[in-house]
């Protein structure tokens, strides 16, 4: 079994599927220019905010799209902001950061 954390966000009348893997976390680092650990810590010290949550959400949505082989265009940052507007910042931030923490912590119980 590999590290894989799937979540669903309810946004208005539709559901948004998210997938977080190590590849998705690497995509987040490339998008934000921050390590995933620095990004997560930023929610405690205030150096991460709405922009970073939107990038994490976009990466999770895009990973789910690729995994589902549904085709279509890549998920845009505007798509992520639309979901955040529909579901609310706090809901999205909680879901995505808990999922990221699960991927980061994967296997730590085996050490």
Q: Are β-strands 5-11 and 14-20 bridged in parallel, bridged antiparallel, or unpaired? A: antiparallel
Spatial separation of the C-alpha atoms in residues 85 and 105, rounded to whole Å:
29
Prediction pTM value: 0.89
Rounded CA-CA distance 62/80 in Å is 10
> pLDDT tens, 51-84?
999 999 999 999 999 999 888 899 999 999 999 9
């Amino acid at each position: 079994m590999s590290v894989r954390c799937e979540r669903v966000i309810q946004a208005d009348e539709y559901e948004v599927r998210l997938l977080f893997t190590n590849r998705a976390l690497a995509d987040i680092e490339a998008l934000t220019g921050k390590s995933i650990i620095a990004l997560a810590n930023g929610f405690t010290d205030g150096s991460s905010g709405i922009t970073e949550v939107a990038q994490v959400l976009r990466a999770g949505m895009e990973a789910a799209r690729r995994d589902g082989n549904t085709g279509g265009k890549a998920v845009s940052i505007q798509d992520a902001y639309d979901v955040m507007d529909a579901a609310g910042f706090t809901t999205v931030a909680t879901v995505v950061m808990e999922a990221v923490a699960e991927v980061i912590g994967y296997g730590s119980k085996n050490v």
